[in-house]
Amino acid sequence: MEKTNVKVQTQKGKQKTLLLVASVVFFMGALSYASVPLYKLFCQVTGYGGTTQVAQNLSDKVIDRSVTIRFDANVNPALDWKFVPAQKSIELSVGENALAFYRAENTGSAPVVGTATFNVTPDKAGIYFNKVECFCFQEQLLAPNQVIDMPVSFFIDPEMMNDPNLDDVTTITLSYTFFRSQAQSGTVATNEKKAG
What does the pLDDT look like over 54-82, one tens digit per residue? 555 666 677 789 999 999 999 999 999 99
pTM of the prediction?
0.66
Name the pLDDT band for 52 (thresholds 50, 70, 90): low
Name the more confident of 13 and 50.
Answer: 13
Q: To the nearest 10°, the Cα dihedral for 139, 141, 146, 151?
A: -30
Q: Structurally, what CATH architecture does the domain formed by 50-186 represent?
A: Sandwich (2.60)
User: Where exactly are the structural domains of the chain?
Assistant: 1-46, 50-186
- Give the DSSP H or E segment for 54: strand 53-54
Query: Using the 8-state DSSP alphabet, how is residue 86 labeled?
Result: S
